[in-house]
Chain A
Amino acid sequence: MKRESQRVLLIEVLLAIIAIFTFFIIKGFNMLVYLAILLIPLGLCIWLLGYHQREERASKDVLLTIIIWIILYYLITYILGYFIGFLKNGYSMTLKGILANVIEQSIFIVIIEFIRVSLAKKCKYYKKGLVLATIVLSAIELVTKFSLGQINSRLDLLDTSFTVILPVLCKNAFLTYLGYKTSVGNNIIYRILMELPTYIIPIIPNLGNYLSNTVLTVIPILLLYYLNKTYFSKKEKIIDSRRDLKRRKFGALITVLLVVILSFMIALVSGVGRYLALTIGSGSMTGTIDKGDVVVLDKKDKKVSEGNIVAFKKEGVILVHRVVDIQNIHGVRYYHTKGDYNKTEDNWLVEDKDIVGKYKFKFKFIGWPTVKLNEWILGGD
């Protein structure tokens, strides 16, 4: 192994030790102490690897592309927020609080990105170093996002894996490759524009956990794909043949189709549009809607009559039952509901405000993986 690769590995091992130590051994997390500790690997990077600011060929163009994508991200999510609704920012919105958060995060971003780019630039003949850099720097960042004490069940573990770990991993993979191909400036600007507004903007779009984390996972992947194709891949030979052109058009069509289908599925599952897809986890409607089926609900159609199948919220869960009777008491409509397979009516009354949507149609069986996963999660509680 070359000396440079050995030095890269040494620094990555040190970072891994810091992450493991902070996760498993230290009780309580203090950001200022953590930043002070991270100065050690930063110092080692500068001493052992050196830092050479070199203007990469496409660096400025990549930066401009990144900025365009980020502005579009904010425009789209905040326009969506107008229709879906907003949440108040959970971080402190006082000037002192904003400055404290922003300064802390800025220092963290600068330290980590300098470490990342120093490591990445020395991995030209040590590609495994790029992968290791992604993993250890993801771990370094994850230490700041959650503590093991916050995971008390399988549900918490699954929730943290998809809402915290996966987006962080995807972002770090993108940043490591970006740092390898361009310069530290691009990495820092990407992170500042994507992360610091979290501590400044007083309202955030209420996209829900599922959709917002899907977006944060997908954006770095898409951006990586686009930048790689546009700026980083070697120039291809221009092949002047109809067959090749047909193949490229077909490939582009397939890509567009996949993107449309995927977007449609995400919209359906997250319920951001008019329709919402739900997996049926119980057998109370067996015969009409079986366990494992996925039902599609129309959220806008709230005109409920007797015999309709509706989804409604009750005691923290969403149930899908049939309306068997409607009462009008003191000007308020109350619905009596019953599962088709149950012998008796439900022991509650449902109001209009509880209704999530009206059943439209179903897909048979495709919800079974979700049902099994849910049973596994609840089994561990």
Chain B
Amino acid sequence: MRYNRTAKVFTIIGLSIFLVCMTVAYAVLSANLSISGSGTVKNAGWDIHFEKPAISAQSAGSTATVPTIEGGTTLKDFSATFTTGSDYVTYSFDVVNSGGIAGVIKTISLPTNVVCKGTTSDQACTDAEKNNLKWELKYDNGNTVQVNDTIPGATDPSQPTVQHMTLRIYFASTNANLASDDVKFSNLNFSIIYNQSTE
């Protein structure tokens, strides 16, 4: 049994050295590691979610539907139709923190690879058409939502912390640049990732 115990101790030492070397290697090569997204916070005091999606404003020529909330943390089914240049729709929603743990925005992902396709000609849009669709994510006081913004935890669960945000999607184009065919945009994915904050 003593021999076995000694062998185990040496095994632990060897494995620990290997673990430390791996840690150092990862730290040195961190730029080469594929790191994307954030892990989930599994804690009963963590409860940041969306509420009250609505359309707060839209241009006369546009139509839009109110997005839906899935699982509290995903706003989906954004849909709008623009018929003239400079058409826009502004969605509003609340980010609510009902838990005791404060959150800090670590990542804001706005669409980068929007898919645009003509509805009748079955062709993909030109770059000019794609690049005319723009978006802004702001608080209702006009300030832009930024990484490292925090949302405090709720000291009383019946009075959660609420931050009102708006997402404005607009077509920034003069009528001369409009597509000759109606176009449909898809792959419009927005995400705000919160991590635990100690503020």
Contacts and interface: CB of A to CB of B under 8 A. Distances in A.
A312 to B, nearest CB: 12
Interface string B122-163: 111011000000000000000000000000001011100000
B65 interface: no
A27 B98 CA distance: 10
B13 to A, nearest CB: 10
A380 B140 CA distance: 35
Interface stretch (B18-26, B53-61, B85-93): B18-26
Interface string A118-152: 00000000000000000000000001111101101
Nearest to B106: A88
B115 A349 contact: yes
B192 interface: no
A239 interface: no
Given A28-B156, A144-B44, A153-B71, A348 B186 contact: yes
A91 interface: yes
A353 B34 CA distance: 16
Contacts of A153: 71
Given A86-B36, A152-B72, A156-B71, 9 more contacts: A28-B156, A64-B9, A85-B33, A86-B35, A88-B37, A89-B195, A91-B195, A96-B198, A349-B115
Contact of B71 (A152, A314, A315): A152
Contacts of B106: 88
A85 B22 contact: no
Nearest to A144: B44
A167 to B, nearest CB: 10
Given A71-B15, A149-B47, A65 B8 contact: yes
Interface of B: 1, 4-5, 8-9, 11-12, 15-16, 18-19, 22, 26, 33-45, 47, 71-72, 76, 98-100, 104, 106, 113, 115, 117, 122-124, 126-127, 154, 156-158, 184, 186, 195-198
B40 to A, nearest CB: 6
Given A90-B195, A149-B47, A71 B72 contact: no
Contacts of B127: 330
Contact of A61 (B4, B18, B156): B4
A31 B45 contact: yes
Interface stretch (A74-82, A267-275, A361-369): A74-82
Q: Main SS of chain B's interface residues?
A: mixed
A48 interface: no
A288 interface: no
B153 to A, nearest CB: 10
A351 B115 contact: yes
Nearest to A82: B33
A90 B5 contact: no
B71 A155 contact: yes
Nearest to A101: B196
A254 interface: no
A27 B196 contact: no
B63 to A, nearest CB: 18
Contact of B124 (A61, A155, A332): A332
Nearest to A328: B124
A165 to B, nearest CB: 12
A147 B47 contact: yes
A75 B15 contact: yes
> Counting chain B CB atoms within 10 Å of each CB, which of A71, A92, A204 scores highest?
A92
Given A68-B15, A71-B12, A351 B113 contact: yes
Contact of B44 (A82, A94, A143): A143
Contacts of B37: 87-88, 206
Interface in A331-381: 332, 334, 336, 347-349, 351, 353
Nearest to B33: A86
